[in-house]
Amino acid sequence: MFDPNRSVLQHIDLPILNKHLVQLFIKRDDLIDPFVSGNKWRKLKYNLEMAQRSGRIGILTFGGPYSNHLVATAAASQEAGLCSVGIVRGGELNAQSNKTLRLCAALGMHLIFVSRKKYALRNERYYWEELLLEHPDHLIIPEGGANYYGIIGCQEILNETPNDFDSVYVAQGTTTTSIGILFSVAQKTSLHVVPVLKGYDSIGEMRALLNYSGIEPSLYEELLEKVLVCDEYHFGGYGKYSVELLDAMEEFFRQTTIPLDPIYTGKALYALMDRIRKGHHDGQRILFIHTGGIQGGESIAQKESRPFF
């Protein structure tokens, strides 16, 4: 079912790129699976393998009510013959509250709705121990698949390309994907990360996840200097977007037939195009990682027709 061979490397031809002598390629991780949104599969791959190897019966993880990670975990666990438990932020919700949650339930995920106060404990060891008493023999994966196994899964993305780019662009949520990419890019490549949260400390968050994953600072401090943070493309914060962003996504779709989502990939591609237009990448070979984000062919936000901010 989950076949990374579907993630082709697509060359993009647009007048703006010709004007700036940019060669742009898009790594189509969005094509890996309709439910397991691109990078979410990468992050789950070795977590699921470890769960199976260590004889666990299921996966337990955390997410918000529109979480791509929850849907991906439900689908990938079902495929791997494991059960799945999702701890969802929002005690007032239920399995029918929106399409994301309905999809999780339909994919066999046992959903548990908790208050925001309880959800804030999601990274606390004592909460994990409490959860394991209720759900023995489950592997707990942090929100967004943000752990060591998530990172090594994302290290494989660049190996499926010539890995000879001047710049790589990727959207950033938990930073797991960008760390995996950072560990695998060529020496000459700079990594441009586009955080989708407002006021997000990208480098600090990357350091925190690297520490949590038990990786030696001497192994990553130098690498972090290759990271360029494009922090002016959050469009107001997580889940927020403007008509301008939606127009740019639609225009890109018309020109390339590549769908984007307004939460992650739309913002990252907007950042890339804006920076090309401003002359930051003249003459470069660039790779854009399409991390997915489109559940069942439509982005979540489009499905739910959430208001524009």
- Binds ligand PLP (CB under 6 A): choice among 61, 73, 184, 291: 291
By rule CB under 6 A, what count of residues binds ligand PLP?
19
Stretch that binds ligand PLP, among 74-82, 85-93, 176-184, 208-216 (CB under 6 A): 176-184
Chain residue at closest Cβ approach to ligand PLP:
293
Q: Decide: is 202 part of the binding site for ligand PLP (CB under 6 A).
A: no
Residues 246-285 that bind ligand PLP (CB under 6 A): 261, 264-265
User: d(Cα 265, Cα 293) in Å, to the nearest integer?
Assistant: 7
Q: Which of 64, 86, 173, 259 binds ligand PLP (CB under 6 A)?
A: 173
Q: CB burial class (10 A; 0-12, 13-18, 19+) of residue 108?
A: middle
- Residue number, 84 or 178, with CB nearest to ligand PLP: 178
Residues 6 or more apart in contact with residue 173 via CB below 8 angstroms: 144, 196, 197, 264
Q: Residues near 284 by Cβ (< 8 Å), separated by ≥ 6? A: 22, 23, 165, 166, 167
Judged by beta carbon, residue 77 or residue 175, the one nearer ligand PLP is 175
Tell how strand 285-290 and strand 167-172 pair up: parallel
**215 pairs with which residues across the strands?**
none
Measured CA to CA, the distance from residue 190 to residue 18 in angstroms comes to 21
Q: Which is nearer to ligand PLP, 43 or 56 (CB)?
A: 43
* Binding of ligand PLP by 86 (CB under 6 A): no
The site for ligand PLP (CB under 6 A) is made up of: 37, 39-40, 68, 144, 171-178, 261, 264-265, 291-293
